Structures are given as structure tokens and as C-alpha cells.
Amino acid sequence: MIFELNEEQKLIRQTVREFAEKEIKPSAAERDESESFDRSLMFDKLGELGLAGIVFPEEYGGAGADYISYAIAVEELSRVCASTGVTLSAHLSLGANPIYLFGSEEQKQQFLTPLAEGTKLGAFALTETAAGSDAGGTKTTAERDGEDWVLNGTKIFCTNGGEAEINIVFARTDKNAQKHHGISAFIVEKDTPGFSFGKKERKLGIRSSPTCEFVFDNCRIPAANLLGEEGSGFKVAMKTLDGGRIGIAAQALGIAQGAFEAALAYAKERKQFDQPISSFQAIQFKLADMATEIEAARLLVYQAAYKASAGQAYGKDSAMAKMYASDVAMRVTTEAVQVFGGYGFTRDFPVERMMRDAKITQIYEGTNEVQRVVIGVALTRD
């Protein structure tokens, strides 16, 4: 068993870290404050670095790297800006990957290639007001009309929403089917008539990542935009989320790592009672717990990523990684604020933002309660 990164993975870490420190970090607090998404900085430049399609084959515009490299990229971006990290994660795992996994060759050429090249941004629309953890409760409909599908309904909490040119949308194609049966997946382009954007969410964290409502009012798309087989949408969604959880686990890991590094540096320079607070056992114990939990989370994340690259079943592993890493992110960022004391509660230091950003990682891509269900079912399945 080898725990050392290979040379390619080390180079990716170094490259993304240098980019994140130089380009992303300086404006992270300002973008959070203004809730602004800088497309050229937070996505276009990622495409120029080859990150937008890092795991996809070169024939589709990708870089042909493995999922560990992808996790490293999301981790390093999230270490300084969780909003940028989730922009990449949602684009690749949720917007592009379902086309790679379930799309026809024509769909891959038309839609996956520009996504992988970073010339178009991707998004994913599954959640509805009455269908969150219960994805089978989808009410949005798609009816066949000649050579088209006509979509009606709304989706909420769409990451990259309003910015993405290519969107994966789930709708019920069989009104008589029960729960998760009779749902299909579709590729919907941004400028399609009948497709508009509703409420933009004002959020606790990841505030420079756009999140909005999708509205479909007799939105007509070509029949060729059906992704996978009719009625297989629930399968498409669940398989997509398995992979997406690796990205969110990596995001949580990066947030925790960034908060720990900030707390460690501050503890070494902050003096009380004529000595650095890092010399006090109470602070050392906090730092020790933070560092240990981060390393444990990293092993879970990389294990899930390794299995995904190796073509092995990884649903349980990605659920474990997402659940544990997100819980660690909340504990570490909370403790980081505590290490900073009163200063940690102000916006003058990044740990306040990191603590707000960490919370969503316990909720999206399946709440941690749902992750425990996924893990429990996998453990007890005959």
C-alpha cells in the first residue's frame, strides 16, 4: 500500500496551490463580502490550467488525470476559497460527468468537449422545494411532443446557476410512475426559450458561488438532449452524486486545511502572558486534534478517489469521505475561530469565512444524515 503521491499528482498540487495563492486568495474576502462571482478568475483560468476537464480523456478535451488529482485540485482551491472549489466541483462532477458516463458519442462531442476544455460552464438541477433528500419526489415534468421534449416546473439550489451554459436537468416523464421511477435526465442549454432564472439565493457561506432557481415554462428542447434512457434519470442522478461527493469531500478537506494553517500561524505569533499562545497545552491539544482529523479525512477522500479511478465500486467510500470530511471541516473551523479568540469572530481574518463556508458541506450533495443511510445500507446489504 503506497501513501505517497506520484510525481504528476505532486506537480498538480504545486501548480494549483501557487495559482490559488497568487490569483484566488487576494480577492476571496472581497468576493465573499460582495457575493460576486468572477467568471474569468473562478472558472476561465481554471480551464486554462486544464482543470475544467482534468479527469476526462484527451479526446474530449480533458487532461486524462486521475480522481486523486481532481480531489487535490478542489482541495487546494478550497484551502483559500471554498466558492472557487465548489465552482470546479459542481462543473466537473455534476455538470460534465453525467454526460461522460451516460451520454451518446454525439452528446459527448457537442456538450462534454466544451465543458472539459473550460469554454463552457456546467450545472446540475435535481432539487425542488418538495424534493430535497427525497429526490424521487420530483414534480418537474417533461412531455414528448414530436421531435422535442417540453419541460415545465422549477428547480432550486442550483450551483453555478445562471452562469452555466450547459445544465443537467431531471424531470418526470411518466406521471403515473411512483417515486423514483419515471424520471429522466436532460441536457438544457442556457439560452433555450422557456428556460429562465428565478431567485438568487443569499447564503451563509460560499457566497461568491452563484446559486439560483431554474424556471421551465414550456421549455422546448430537442429529443436528442435526453441523457441516457428514458426513465433512467434517478439512476443517472445517484451515480452522478456518488462522484460528486468526492468533490465535496475534497472541498471540505481544503476548508479544514486552510483554517488549520491559519490557526497554527496565528498561535505562533499571538502572545499572552509574555509567550506565544502556541506554548500553552490547551492550544496545542486543539491543534493536535485538528491536524489528526484532517489527515484522517484526507485518507478517506483519497481512498474514494483512488477507487473511482480504478473502476471499483466507491459509493460507500465517497459517502464516508463526504460525511467525515465535512464534519471535520465544521469542527476544525470552529476550533480555529476559538484559537483566534475575539479576532476570529471578525471579518478581518479568514477563519470566520471558512467557518461559514464549512457548514454547507454537511448539507449539499446529500445531507450527512443521508450519507449515514447510504453507508448503513451498504454495510447491511446481503
Amino acid at 174: D
Amino acid at 31: R
The DSSP annotation for 193-246 comes to TTEEEEEEP--SS-TTS-EEEEEEEEEEEEGGGEESSTTBHHHHHHHHHHHHHH
Count of CB atoms situated within 10 Å of the CB of 143 = 14
Residue of 76, 213, 293, 365 marked catalytic: 365
Judged on CB neighbours under 10 Å (0-12, 13-18, 19+), 130 is exposed
Cβ contact 118:106 at 8 Å: no
H or E element that contains 274: none
Does the annotation count 365 as an active-site position? yes
* C-alpha span between 79 and 91 (Å, rounded): 18
Q: Which residues contact 18 (CB under 8 A, 6 or more apart)?
A: none
Cβ contact 240:98 at 8 Å: yes
Q: Which residues are catalytic?
A: 365
